[in-house]
Amino acid sequence: MNVSVIIPTLNAERWITRQLNMLLSQTVEAEIIVIDSGSADSTPAIVRRFAPRVRLLEIPPRDFDHGGTRDYALRQSTGDYVLFFTQDAIPTDTRCIEKLLAAFSAPDVAAAYGRQIAYPDAPEYEKLTRQFNYPDQPRVWREADIPRYGVKAYFFSDACAAYRRDAYLAVGGFDAPIITNEDMMMAGKLLHAGYALAYTPEAAVHHSHRYTLGEEYRRNKKIGLVMEQYRPRLTGAEADAEGWRMLRFVGGELAREGRIGELFDFLAHVCVRFAGNRIGKRKGKRSGT
């Protein structure tokens, strides 16, 4: 099985050594490509130390695009299966790639993504949010399952994901330019083209964030804008019900554990996510996307 791994980076020196060491220790050998978009830290120098086992591509910061950059790197790769990791996603064991590729035993599966487990120092609400979004039950779904899953049918994450090259190319690759959520929009393309998607929790990475309220707002404003822009592709994707389920789960657990400070912090983040998402959608409607 010919496998490639692609990692987009920007100022990734905090994680890149650990990540590359884990990827080079996997039970499945893979071509590894790092595509850097103008890091000001030591990321490129660190990656060069891993040559020739790791290949470095470099592009100017102005040329970075969530879809276009990944598509460019994929077309420089050779794998029949192409995996994407974000720079801060570290495999939890040496079988992560092997377990992710096992999803393709079903012949119509075109893409699969793995589980995300928050880092130990992440806020408790972030750990619970990852637990809600990335449960321990695997699933395979198709276009006919969209009414059952709603927006969750399009939930997909390139923090740890694999694509079958022939299926990826058959639907035209990632959208570009796109400011965020290239993975979700690719999920829509594949589902509507008749392919299946898979979630494989056995393949896991450590991955979490510590967004400020401002970062949370700006991130969700972009998400809302993209979801409005691509609304015709996301049939049946009403996100409100899923958002309320997440709010009840995370908020309920924090209250039950007596983490009142974290509960208020979580609720503040929920409010700015909601505001950012709504404003992004309104901006998308006004711009006629």
For the cut 70, the answer to whether the pLDDT of residue 258 exceeds it is: yes
Among residues 206, 229, 262, the one where a domain terminates is 206
Co-location of 196 and 221 in the same domain = no
- How confident is the model at residue 1, as a pLDDT? 79
Rounded Cα distance between 114 and 158, Å, is 9
Confidence of residue 241 (pLDDT cuts 50, 70, 90): confident
Among residues 179, 206, 233, the one where a domain terminates is 206
- Average pLDDT of span 268-288: 90
Rounded Cα distance between 176 and 185, Å, is 11
Q: State the residue for tokens 């694509």.
A: 163
- How confident is the model at residue 285, as a pLDDT? 83
pLDDT in tens, 185-240: 999 999 999 999 999 999 999 999 999 999 999 999 999 999 999 999 998 877 66
Question: How many separate domains does the chain show?
Answer: 2
- How confident is the model at residue 188, as a pLDDT? 97
Reduced to 3 DSSP states, what percent helix, strand and coil does the chain have, rounded to the nearest 5?
A: 50, 20, 35
For the cut 80, the answer to whether the pLDDT of residue 287 exceeds it is: no
3-state secondary structure of 264: helix
Co-location of 8 and 142 in the same domain = yes
List of residues 6+ apart from 96 with CB closer than 8 A: 22, 26, 114, 160, 203, 204, 205
Co-location of 45 and 113 in the same domain = yes
- Average pLDDT of span 176-187: 97
- How confident is the model at residue 289, as a pLDDT? 47
For the cut 70, the answer to whether the pLDDT of residue 279 exceeds it is: yes
- How confident is the model at residue 283, as a pLDDT? 87
Co-location of 237 and 192 in the same domain = no
Co-location of 123 and 251 in the same domain = no
Our CA angle for 64, 65, 67, nearest 5°, is: 140
pLDDT in tens, 127-145: 999 999 999 999 999 999 9
- How confident is the model at residue 288, as a pLDDT? 59
Co-location of 60 and 189 in the same domain = yes
Segments forming the whole domain that contains residue 225: 213-286
- How confident is the model at residue 16, as a pLDDT? 98
Among residues 206, 226, 248, the one where a domain terminates is 206
